[in-house]
Copies of this chain bind each other. A is one copy, B any other.
Amino acid sequence: MTNRQPTLDEVAQRAGVSRGTVSRVMNNRQHVSGKAREAVERAVRELGYVPSMAARSLASQRRGAVVLAISSDDSALFSNLFFAEVITGINDVIEETDLELLLVLAASERGRNRLARILQSRGADGVLLLALRENDPLAKIAESGGVPVVHGGRPLERAPRHYVDADNRGGARQAVEHLIATGRRAIGTITGPLDMHAGVNRYLGFREAVALAGLGDERVAHADFSQAGGAAAMAELLDRHPDLDAVFVASDAMAVGALEVLRGRGRTVPGDVAVIGFNDIVTARHTSPPLTTIRQPIEALGREMTRMLVRLINDEKPTSLILPTELVIRESA
């Protein structure tokens, strides 16, 4: 059980070659003859040799690991399937590359310090950051680690150097175009917070689409992505624009609130008012009626973030990415 693992030297001896050669084989280097390579591979197999990560990273000065840092109390991120999906995507790429994935929940001061320490101790070759809010201190900490950083989603102000994001604007446009295509004309929107990138861009997408169709863009209420906020905004919208026949709601959570208000006011959905959300949270399937919404390519987001990070670690120069969204038609629009 606790049989000491064989070392590289033992493999070298068994294969009848030098340690240098074994090392070269283990790292797929060139300058190794076919027979030498074979001999080593056999020895490795026979001995069940697995290189020691610790020794390897000490000697090579790289860790063979990346860290995924999360400001976790952000429940929008953590709930739903978001996290599961993004992790799945990340894992796909991690598996291909033989890196390890370190998970750090860095919501608290303490967690942030941990991240800082890990980076300072060269505990990781790169950092993956998810859906940071405005001025999240994590960004600076990650940046100061001296290793590449890739953001999933982007803060409003300055776009990070390397990010992957969903096409919020395009998704919003897509949603409104669907509304238009199904005959709606008095289209309103409930926006998210306009100090968030997603909030702003979904609003811009709405405006773009109505403008393109020659419709008015005056039916607007602002909220905060929450269900309660969505309900309040829906009430406001209905009061100010009784003619409303469709509403693009910038998050599913808000849409749930909107649906409640609509029902309370005796408006049928989608009969009187069509409703379309954004995110495709699980709940969207279970509202009544089931919510038509815009789905983000979350697994792809994880995958592309990680690919980008791997490229950066290998000193390539990848470019930031925006991933397309998808319209999921259910019954509310």
Contact = CB atoms under 8 A, between A and B. Distances in A.
Most B CB atoms within 10 A — which of A5, A53, A117, A282? A53
Interface in A76-104: 78-81, 83-84, 87-88, 91, 95, 98, 100-104
Contact of A121 (B51, B83, B146, B256): B51
A185 to B, nearest CB: 31
Interface string A224-249: 00000000000000000000000000
Report whether over half of chain A's contact residues are helix, strand or loop; otherwise say mixed: mixed
Contacts of A123: 53, 100
A50 interface: yes
Contacts of A111: 91, 95
Contact of A122 (B5, B87, B95, B104): B5
A43 B72 CA distance: 34
A123 B51 CA distance: 10
A309 to B, nearest CB: 15
Interface stretch (A54-62, A204-212, A213-221): A54-62
Nearest to A85: B78
A2 interface: yes
A52 interface: yes
A314 B120 CA distance: 26
Contacts of A286: 256, 283, 286-287
A114 interface: yes
A83 B86 CA distance: 13
A251 to B, nearest CB: 15
Contacts of A72: 84, 87-88, 91
A181 interface: no
Contacts of A104: 91, 101
Contacts of A117: 50
A277 to B, nearest CB: 14
A63 interface: yes
Nearest to A256: B286
A102 B100 contact: yes
Given A91-B111, A111-B91, A50 B84 contact: no
Given A83-B83, A121-B53, A103 B105 contact: no
Nearest to A68: B103
B84 A81 contact: no
Contacts of A57: 54
Interface of A: 1-2, 5, 48, 50-55, 57-58, 63, 65, 68, 72, 75, 78-81, 83-84, 87-88, 91, 95, 98, 100-105, 108, 110-111, 114, 117-118, 120-123, 144, 146, 256, 282-283, 286-288
7 contacts: A1-B146, A83-B84, A95-B114, A101-B102, A282-B282, A286-B286, A288-B288
Given A58-B58, A72-B91, 20 more contacts: A1-B144, A5-B120, A5-B121, A5-B122, A48-B120, A53-B121, A54-B57, A65-B102, A72-B87, A78-B84, A79-B282, A91-B103, A91-B104, A91-B111, A95-B110, A100-B102, A101-B104, A256-B286, A282-B282, A286-B286
